[in-house]
Amino acid sequence: MISIYSISALILAYLFGSIPTAVWLGQGFYGIDVREYGSGNAGATNTFRVLGKKAGVIVMIIDIFKGWTATNLAAFIGLSVTGPQYSTQYVNYQLALGITAVLGHLFPIFAGFRGGKGIATLFGMILAVHFEAAMICVLVFLVVLLISNYVSLSSISAGFAFPLSIVFVFQSPIRSILLYGMCICILILVTHQKNIERLLRGSESKVNLFKKKTLQ
């Protein structure tokens, strides 16, 4: 059922997602638009590359929080609309709000619709919808990153880990979560197309989390 509350929540979710953390932090504290350097994306990974670990961590945390907050707006719509918490209808509202936030991150109204790839915001959404599956994604991301030093490969692997864990580990009865997981895989493949091409050529940039980054 569509109500003024659900429409308002969707608008708020998009606005939350549209907060261009990397752009505002880079311009406000470093005098740099991260979209003009590195991969050209306004996300945590490019912030790590361009501005260093401290700035990258801040952007990543805020972007995760954007997705988590937007997804949890479902709790404020009202049980008469969403149904009880953790019900199929409630989770569907969570998914709709989270996807809207991710779209806001990809196409932020506050930054000329030039955003990032949405991985951190996606993770915040997963964290709100299925905490246990999110922890498996974190584990996969860290293992692949420690082995390869490729953030893009780690993100892709973590993204695919979500639907696999939903099917084979948790066996969730809510089909929309699995459908959402499959959409995540498609979105990640689309947004990481250039990264995949560079990985295949062996020219993808590596990130060493233990090496201090300095601006040139």
pTM here is: 0.84
User: 79-109 pLDDT, tens per residue?
Assistant: 656 677 778 888 888 999 999 999 999 999 9
What's the domain count of the chain?
1
Phi, psi angle pair for 71, to nearest 5°? -65, -40
135 occurs within a structural domain:
yes
pLDDT digits (tens, 9 = 90+) for 22-62: 999 999 999 999 999 988 889 998 998 899 989 999 999 99
pLDDT band of 215, cuts 50, 70, 90: very low
Any domain includes 213: no
Residue 209 lies in a domain: no
Answer whether residue 132 is part of any domain. Answer: yes
pLDDT higher than 90, residue 3: no
- For residue 201 the two structure tokens come to 């050529």
Does some domain include residue 214?
no
Give every CB contact of residue 153 below 8 A, 6+ residues apart in sequence: 144, 195, 199, 204
| 121 assigned to some structural domain | yes
The answer to whether residue 207 sits within a structural domain is no
Instruction: Report if residue 208 sits inside a domain.
Output: no
Enter the tokens of residue 72.
Answer: 């949890």
Q: pLDDT tens, 168-194?
A: 999 887 888 888 889 889 988 888 898
pLDDT in the model for residue 211? 59
Instruction: Calculate the CA dihedral of residues 71, 101, 61, 141 and round it to 10 degrees.
Output: 90
- Residue 69's domain comprises 4-201
